[in-house]
Amino acid sequence: MRTARRASNVEVPSFLRQLVKETEKMVTFFFKGGSREKGCEEEDNLEDEDAMPSPYLDHPNLEKHVAEGGSSLGLNYAVASMQGWRAQMEDAHTCMTQLKGDLGDWAYFAVFDGHAGVTVAQYCSRNLLDHILTTGGIKANEDPDQVKEGIREGFLGIDRHMHKMARKDNWDRSGSTAAAVMISPRYIYFINCGDSRTFLCHNGQVVFYTEDHKPFNPREKERIQNAGGSVTLQRINGSLAVSRALGDFDFKEVDWRPQTEQLVSPEPEVYELERTPQDEFLVLACDGVWDAIGNEELCAFIRNRLQVCDDLRDICTQVIDLCLYKGSLDNISIIIVCFPGAPQVSQEALQREADLEQHIDMKVEEIIQMMRSKDEDPDLLYVIKFLAAEELPGLPPGGGITSKRDCIIGAYQKHIMNLRTQEPMDIGGSEEDSS
């Protein structure tokens, strides 16, 4: 597929080097001892670093993995993921536009956000659907109640299977959230276990989204306390920040309690929604996205981008970059699934985008010229901050000036280059040398 406007070819890491200087201060404060007393920090900072390596990198890993696909059923999707600031990449995903056999007109998409390791996330990305289908609840002549029960039993089944492996084979004891959808010709089944999230955009609005499973939610907190645990610092026993997950077997060792009544429950919440022609697109994403942007903001941003870009992969990477620059410090993964009713590229929207980028280019030139008139070095970070303080018309909803960083970088480098070519060469040194 083509893009109506691709990102500029400017090297983004050069921009990051400037942003990292400020971002690292924030990371250091919050994650490398910012809450401790200064005296203690100075005394044993090196000792602490040796004892517990930081879960964060000094610089974000910006390599993105993208893929796309579609089906004759009118579904198109793209997926993108990035390690970001995290020391390890622990996300995984599954995308199937058509299931096999009698379920050829069904689709399945899922995002898995691992913690304390990636093993459970990867295992579930490969095997969860098989466990769901093995229950027999998913049939071509669907009964929504049977489908939902089959999904629930599939989750409990794979968790039991992994728990046996962890006990007998010394298998990994990490955990993973799971956010998934199963799409039949009639229904969309929303599946959630943990704090990854899914939403549906219908006729321009978020009409459904899954609820995050956090330990401080009243219902979750009650189960945790009934299982003998506590919620401290909004975490289970001060440790785990999600209350439902696959894996995490250190929190599931009370043998006389059912699976769904342990400190951490593997039971998903499942909802069905009847499909309509007004359905536009679905989003599935890990909390690396939701830490930086809300449902309505992301819905508006994606909907706006669909009107100026027909490459869904590019839109996914734009979302990832937007979340990074908005301050996400986690792994970032997103799947966008478009229905036939999704917005299409329009000439009117393309013209608005072109006008906006021309205006940004003009503003960048003005700022650089203003700084040069004061004998100040035109600094890219200053240019961006200056633009952020302006009320520029026509910015992408939900994205703002942050989403136009490539345009800003391109304009900045172009005008800096023009300035350099216009400056007279200093030949005084060569004349002195020749004499």
Amino acid identity, residue 168?
K
Domain-embedded: residue 236:
yes
- 179 within a domain of the structure (yes/no): yes
- Which residues constitute the domain of residue 201? 56-338
Burial of residue 108 (CB within 10 Å: 0-12, 13-18, 19+) is: buried
pLDDT in tens, 5-43: 333 333 434 444 444 444 444 433 333 333 333 344 444
| Residue 6 falls inside a structural domain | no
The CATH number of residue 395's host domain is 1.10.10.430
Q: How many domains does the chain have?
A: 2
The tokens describing 429, both together, are: 């040194």
The reported pTM is 0.86
Asked if the structure places residue 164 within a domain, the reply is yes
Strands 175-183 and 107-115: antiparallel
Range in 126-130, 136-140, 173-177, 376-380 with the lowest mean pLDDT: 376-380
End residue of a domain, out of 285, 309, 338: 338
Domain-located, residue 130: yes
Render pLDDT for 366-397 as a digit per residue (tens, 0 to 9): 999 998 888 888 788 889 889 999 889 999 99
Rounded Cα distance between 279 and 394, Å, is 26
Are both 167 and 261 inside the same structural domain? yes
- For residue 24, what are its two tokens? 């690292």
**pLDDT value of residue 23:** 44
Whether 214 and 87 map to the same domain: the answer is yes
On whether both 95 and 197 belong to a single domain, the answer is yes
Same domain, 269 and 412: no
Instruction: Identify whether residues 354 and 324 lie together within a single domain.
Output: no
Q: Higher model confidence: residue 104 or residue 391? A: 104
410 and 309 both lie in a single domain: no
Query: Is the separation of the CB atoms in 231 and 239 below 8 Å?
Result: no
* 296 vs 283: CA distance, rounded Å: 12
Same domain, yes or no: 213 and 123: yes
Binned at pLDDT 50, 70 and 90, residue 171 comes out as confident
On whether both 373 and 250 belong to a single domain, the answer is no
CATH number at residue 98: 3.60.40.10
Domain edge (last residue) among 308, 338, 368: 338
Residue 435 lies in a domain: no
Any domain includes 82:
yes
pLDDT tens-digit map of 47-89: 454 557 788 999 999 999 999 999 888 999 999 999 999 999 9
pLDDT at 91 over 90: yes
Q: Do residue 290 and residue 309 come from a single domain?
A: yes
Residue 143 and residue 210 share a domain: yes
Number of Cβ atoms within 10 Å of the Cβ of 173: 19
Determine the pLDDT at residue 51: 57
29 found inside a domain: no
Q: Examine the domain organization and report whether 279 and 386 are in the same domain.
A: no
Smallest CA-to-CA distance from 220 within 190, 261, 192 is with 261
If asked whether residues 220 and 76 sit together in one domain, one would say yes
